[in-house]
Amino acid sequence: MLRSMIRVRHFEKAAALLADRGLAPAVRPLPYGGEALAVGSCAALRPGDRIAAVDFGHGPLIARGARPDRLLAELLGGTDGYCRGTGGPAFAFDAGLGFIGANGPGERAVPAAVGAAWADLRLGRGHVTLVLCGEREDAAAELHESLRFARDLGLPVVLLHQVRAAAPAGDGGFVDGHDVEAVRRAVDRAARTARDGGGPCLLAVGTAGAERLAGEPPAGAVAAYAERLTARGVLDAGSLRAIEREEAAAARAAIRFAEASRPADPDQAFHRLFAEPRPRTRPSPARDRPRTVAATGPHDPARTAAAAVTAAVWDGLGDAMAEDDCVVVVRQGGRYGETRGGRGARADGAFRALEAEFGGDRVREARVSGAVLLGVCAGAAALGLRPVADLLDGDAVAELAGPLEHAGRLRSMSGGAVDVPLVCLVAAADRAPAPSRAAHAVLLGIPGLKIAVPSTPDDARGLLLSAVRDPNPAVLVVDEDGAGRVTGANGTGGAGTADGPAPVPDRTCAVALGVAGVVRPGDDVTVVALGSLVPEALRVARRLAGDGISVEVIDARTVAPLDLETVLESAARTGRLVVCDNAHRTGSFAAVVIAAAQVVHPALKAPPQHVAWEDLPVAYAPVPEARRLVGAADIAAAIRLTLMDRPVSLWA
């Protein structure tokens, strides 16, 4: 342990030297005596155990056996680094060492670590997850909710909480963070308890803060441990000097290695943004299993579109769970799920049916916020599970953007080492002043995230299956206001009518993410719509056909990745483009499509038209709110504008 502590300190000196030379950003050093905490805690772990940190990730990573030269290469953005220069030394991810990253703020790191422990327990690996965090996470609700999730499931988690207090309270009592042997003993006891099914343990570890406030800085942890070993007769001054020389020489060699490392290739970093889907090796038993959505009511072609889409989503979830044992479904419970009206009530029967079929270990409720639930699911996905988070009746989507952004960047920041097969179910928008922003528009700018907005029950089920099988994080936006009113899986035929809901689909194939569908061919104008506006566009197209206007309607299906090839080919052929989006005009999916239309500008006969919400807050009163929403009349007016004789230089 002494050598590891000296190695950590020499790494920090090397990093500071590179920062002073302007070659790298400064590395935040460990707190005074922090080598003891990093080395002592890691020494108590077994091979395969996990480590996550909020800050100071290089300390436990080196203590776990990481190469300092590769960490310095990561610091300089070199391809020889642990994340190929894309994550930095704080985030360095190495599954072989069990280090799952120092993921920044505690609202990201702690839930992700708990999720990793959930995956290990669910898959029977027998590993323990150690989480190192500090005082700034103490008041964070995410930390306490994550610990509650771990307690409810009995997860093998040891939370090492660094505090500046003389004797803070914790499950495992107070530990002197400057005493490497005391830290090792405490973590070893907690890890054995967690490994034996005792659940999570919170250890409060005192750092140098309290002594510094008293004006009495403690002796260095390295020097104190060296003196202790010398007193025991297992170390002499010559041996200590030899260790110092060897580690100093290794640090100089690490600097040379890092400086010689080739800079990261931006193109390769982009290619690592998404993982390629892998072929499934197991046959699907989905066609032979009974439907799990019977609790939502008997099959009735006249039922509402919302019920049809909800039933299709949950039926697809049941098939996905039958196909892959790693698929788990979790939603908010406790006080977070007390009121389940509307879509929440419609899904509750299907949720209970899945719970009865697959058991409470795969279908469960969690007494946590939506943000923590997504953070836990991201950590579980990175370690082998395929979680589906049901937040249809949960928090406003803006509160979920942070953990979804974290999930989207994990693969890229880890240098392609991590896949995050996470699916999040959210509602398109709520009709209230606070949470009424369109979900897909809020999340559209997050790299690494796939976003689907189905318009029919067939698409809802098919896109869900594709999202669950995909190795990347995906969001399924359930737009229940008008979804399901298109006939068939592609709008060209099926049970149901163009003005009424289609029934729950039969066992259909998955619908590929990133592939738009031409639901009505036409020659005069291209209308691109999303979600509940697809049936509105079809209704307008049929009415205008009586006036001799041939409208081609394209269902975008997914906004990320966006099938621009289909859209632009159609716009170039018809010469006119109308894009419809149930979102605020600025920053919407429609704005992205119109911006891309400049590629086919010479072929356009009229400026593209943008049908979306006004950039105004949502009103509580129904009349102002109705003015904000868009529908068939707005689409028809936009189509007629494109048919007027206007110069193409006047872009709308």
β-bridge pairing 174-176 and 201-206:
parallel
> Which CA distances in Å does 136 have to 337, 448, 613?
29, 29, 40
Burial class of residue 435, CB neighbours in 10 A (0-12, 13-18, 19+): middle
pLDDT score for 306? 55
Could you tell me the sign of the dihedral formed by the alpha carbons of 309, 530, 405, 65, in that order?
A: positive
Q: Which residues pair with 332 in a beta bridge?
A: 366
Tokens of 1: 């342990």
Position 482, amino acid = G
Extended beta strands in 79-156, E state = 93-94, 99-102, 129-133
pLDDT score for 386? 96
User: Which residue in this structure is represented by tokens 């027998």?
Assistant: 126
Residue range 539-563, pLDDT digits in tens = 999 999 999 999 999 999 999 999 9
Position 199, amino acid = G
Please check the confidence at residue 336 and state whether its pLDDT lies above 50. no
Closest CA to 318 of 328, 308, 309, 305: 328
Within 217-365, residue ranges assigned H as helices are 221-232, 237-260, 266-271, 305-323, 343-358
Closest CA to 461 of 507, 430, 408, 502: 507
pLDDT score for 184? 94
In angstroms, rounded to a whole number, what is the distance separating the alpha carbons of residues 55 and 74? 16
Q: How confident is the model at residue 382 (pLDDT cuts 50, 70, 90)?
A: very high
pLDDT score for 364? 92
Q: Is 234 strand, coil or helix?
A: coil
**Domain regions of the chain by residue span:** 2-270, 286-478, 517-642
In angstroms, rounded to a whole number, what is the distance separating the alpha carbons of residues 90 and 53? 9
Identify the CATH class of 286-478: alpha beta
Tokens of 114: 């708990």
Position 274, amino acid = F
Residue range 196-234, pLDDT digits in tens = 999 999 988 887 653 443 334 444 788 888 988 998 988
Q: Which residues pair with 366 in a beta bridge?
A: 332
For domain 2-270, which architecture applies?
Answer: 3-Layer(aba) Sandwich (3.40)
β-bridge pairing 93-94 and 99-102:
antiparallel
pLDDT score for 27? 64
pLDDT score for 409? 86
Please check the confidence at residue 447 and state whether its pLDDT lies above 50. yes
Residue range 482-504, pLDDT digits in tens = 444 433 333 333 333 344 444 44
The reported pTM is 0.86
Q: Is the peptide bond before 561 cis (omega within 30 degrees of 0)?
A: yes
The domains spanning 2-270 and 286-478 adopt the same CATH topology: yes
Among residues of the chain, what percentage have pLDDT more than 90? 42
CATH number (3.40.50.920, 3.90.850.10, 3.30.505.10, 3.40.50.300) of 517-642 reads 3.40.50.920
Q: How far is CA 265 from the centre of its chain?
A: 24
Tokens of 460: 């809802």
Tell me the pLDDT of the chain averaged across its residues.
80
Cβ contact 415:272 at 8 Å: yes
Could you tell me the sign of the dihedral formed by the alpha carbons of 543, 548, 549, 553, in that order?
A: positive
In angstroms, rounded to a whole number, what is the distance separating the alpha carbons of residues 68 and 202? 30
pLDDT score for 503? 47
Position 355, amino acid = E
Among residues of the chain, what percentage have pLDDT more than 70? 77
